[in-house]
Structure 1
Amino acid sequence: MKHFFNIAKIITSISVMMLMTLGTVFGIEGVEKNNIQKFDSKPIKGESNGQERFVSIDFNNVDLNVFIKFISELSGKNFVVDDRVKGKVTIISPAKISEKEAFKVFESVLEVHGYSTVEAGEVIKIVSSPDARTKNVETYLTDEGAESTDKLVTQLIPLKYADANEIKQLFAPLVSKNSVILAYTQTNMLIVTDIYSNIQRLLRILSAVDVTGIGREITIIPLESADSSKLVKLLETVFKKENPAVKKKSENGREIAFVADERTNTIVLLASEADTLRVKRLIRMLDKDVPRGKENIHVYYLEYANAEELAKVLQMLPSKTETADAKGKKAPPVVSGTTKITADKATNSLILMADKDDYLTMEEIIRKLDIPRSMVYIECLIMEVNVEKGFELGTEWVAGEDFTLGSKDWIAGGGFGGKGQYSNIGNLVATANAGAATFPAGYSMGVFGETIKVGDMTFASLGALINAMKSDKDVHILSTPQIITTDNEEAVITVGSNVPYLTKTGTTSSSETYNNYEYKDVGFTLKVTPQISKDGLVRLKIYQEINKLDQAAISQLNTGEITPTTLKRTIETTVIINDKNTIAIGGLIDDSITKSESAVPCLGSVPLLGYLFKSISESGEKTNLYFFLTPHVIRGPEDSETMKNNKKADIEKLMKEGRIKMYGGSSGQLHSDDENMGKN
């Protein structure tokens, strides 16, 4: 239920009696004894549009509804009062105030009790403040202005520089309990519903807060030397690091935004005035010509190392961005994670994208790796020896036994126990006249010094041994390959042929016979990988393979009985020997069967009866495969020149002996009078 107070003229005496009953005293230009209200006709100073009365108000514990009725009579305004409006009013006012000011006091009393006035046409509603927010409250813009009252109003506050969300957070503790403050970011405006006197206080605070340098502005920054896209990435790294603090600013609209315009090589910046100054200052420092030789892209031309292989090594260097491993240990940082390394195969160079510090670090590493590597010249001898021939070699065979190295001149290992008289591997050169060891029938391996002793004879090198053995009918030299390779690089020698063999014979529908052939690689393959140590030792990783067709199978193949059989013998080992020493490996036994046939001409080919006029014999032979290998370390041009002169001297010696002849002309071809010598 709501009460309606009419402004109809109320008899003064009735009002006086009511106010006396309530204990209320009104005085106008003085208070009479019977506390009857009088009105002063003296106009307000500065007013020209009529006279206004002054009144002194003193209320002591008066019912709020009675006070509302009094103000209605005093101001002549109509009120609609919610039946929930209750309370007591006490006002102490020793000074005289005007009627207009009395109405402001009335609004303040309502605000203290949690009520507000809402104008609705010719009447004024008095409702609770929370309900008043949704009623037809007066709405003002900042520049419209109004007198300071405790009336509930809605104020629209457009902001010039400050961000609406930030000002909302700033004003939230300053508004009344039942007030509302909203931020409208599209127009950067605040909407505040509160008593107008408090809104005026907020506006005074805002005048000091909403100043230049707070909001964001758009700035176009042209560049002279720097690239806009690259510079934007750098600026984003500096000003927008991914951390919670920056993310919070971004949500509030205070982040710094960069956009690169590649067409005009400019940067579009959205930031506050203060941040804009910081960005401009940094851009001025970065937008400069890079002095020649100080660019981030460097080209390093290699002299000895392989660019592609070295690039892989450098890319495996630990960087500053690598995380700890499973054990919690972290590799020491060498270069930053942004460093890029690319190999140019055509020029054998490295393209490095790195800053100055990282480049200096990698340059030092490259300089230490880009060095001339030593080379190894390898002499090999592969021969088959009849098992029945006594082939004594001046070395001792060991099988995992302990032995001393002496002065680091000797090292050996592997194989079966031999018949030698040595208790350990010593300097065989110094003991060349001592007892000799005989190669065992099984697989074995040993090491010579710089000379090779066979039986009672000592040979200075593999070449001398080859010359001595080439005329021995019990020794068949298969190959004497020679090759030179770089330290820690594999060298491969392959000598052989691709042999066809019949796999299928058939007849077509037209009674034509056809044959299908396949091919097999037969011959000799040697793979050697040397590794040179600082002490002059050479580590050799050896793989040797010999493939040949079984002659017995080939003879049967001609009759169409079976397909050919390939005999394969391989050796794979790793040894460590001194420079110019010889490693000998033996014990690969091969059984060969040779068939021979002799017949009386013509009669021996007669079917059936021909067997009476011919004889067939079959002989077998066992051969032992021996493999000799001598490395010669070439550490520089002097060693290379010495090696060349030695080989040249060998050729000249053979020419003097008539073993090779030089054809006329400039072809430089050699002619061999000896088939074996030509092969060797």
Structure 2
Amino acid sequence: MFRKASRLRLDGSPRRVVLACCCALFVAASVVSAQQPPAQRITTNFKDADITQIAEAVSMATGRTFIIDPRVRAQVTMLSSTPMTPDAFYEAFLSILQVHGFIAVPSGDVIKIVPDANARTMPGTDLPDRPPSAADEIVTQVIAIKNVSAAQLVPVLRPLIPQYGHLAAHPASNVLIISDRAANVNRIARIIRRIDQAGDSDVEVVTLQNASAVEVVRIINSLYQQQQAAEGGGANPLRLAADERSNSVLVSGDPEQRLRIKTLIAHLDTPLESGGDTQVRYLRYADAEKVAALLKEQVTGIAQAAAPGGGQQAAPPQQQIDRNTTIIADPETNALVITAPPKVMKSLMSIVDKLDIRRMQVLIEAIIVEVQADKTAELGVNWAAWSEDDDTRFPAGGFISPVGGSSLVNLAQLAADPEAAAEAGIGIPNGTTLGIGRIAGTGVNFAAMLRALRGDANTNVLATPSAVTMDNQEAELKVAQEVPFITGQFTNTGAGGTLNPFQTIQREEVGTILKVTPQGGSWRT
């Protein structure tokens, strides 16, 4: 079960030979003890024995197979007065290897004994569920960090790892990878459990007076983004958010991080003596050119209000508003490019918010009608009475003149003989005519006629134009066509006395054009 990588070299002196014989006796005694039942214990004593001889004794006692690197050379003294089990003998052997700078690396069914400088490059007991608490075997363990940054723990734990060990952090998953002897790995794990405690992650609100919260957050994020990516962020990474409404910065993280960020924000939130800030504002509903004109007038008004009355004193910074403020409209993107001091910028942005609103749409419909103005209204009365008695004769009457071309005579003739009246061209015109009377040879005769007439003319619908416009914006309804008009004429005399007449013609729109400006007021439809 034991493979010897090199021959044991002994010194030629008699003393060395005697010691070698003694060691052989001790080894033989150890081997005999190892072959006893498991309940028995082994008492081992070695003095200036070659380390390969001790490996041979451990192999025979425990049944393990060792492969020894040729560089493994050492003289070992091991004295024990207490019997030990084969497993304890193996642990003691691992401790001997550690003292002399060697290490045992399990590899399948065999154990490689190599210098500890090569331990990190050789596979050992990787990722055990529970590493032995006091073993000198090389193990590799992955420890997840929950509350702190794994990258920040590396410089803290590095001095506790020997030269042949390995310690590294994986920022993406915030874990530590440790390769070392099992006992030291357990010690490192206990230290990590003490350090990996939940921190005090709170949120603080920092209100800005001069700077823009959005710009401050952008600057700090760009400054700490690479650092956080390298450190992995940890369990309580630094987080910043901007509240445009109150111009405040929300800071979240550990107390130390928050204090450092608040100090940086205080340096950034200082008034500027000159210059300003530049922002690009995209409009959704309003026209950029029109809004830019209004904002320029507003800036001019602010500058005039800030100007002193005397005009001879030095101008304060407020009077430089118009010089430090520029407003440019970009028609292609319907955007405003504004450069202004923070206070003026805040005022201008508030104005833009109120102007860039969705306006109401108004549908205008019209009917163009041709009406013939011909209206008639008539009302008239004819009446008459007379007597045909021999003794009494009297005539009486009123409104004998015709009413609408009709008279009592016509009405009487039409009633007496309709055919003869029709042949004579006597008729009743349009309208309502009522008549009553008595005509006889004798006695009293009377007649009365009432006539009423009303008439209207026809209408003609020419067009029904419509248009959609915005509230308080002029719309034009047009029903017209271009008609040529001769505006001038003249004649030139050409060669040979030929006359060349010319005319100038101008086309103009002829028709009905309506211009309407709706004012919706509080309409909501």
Q: TM-score, normalised by structure 2?
A: 0.42
Q: Which has the higher helix share?
A: 2
TM-score with structure 1 setting the length: 0.33
Q: Mark the structure with the bigger radius of gyration.
A: 2
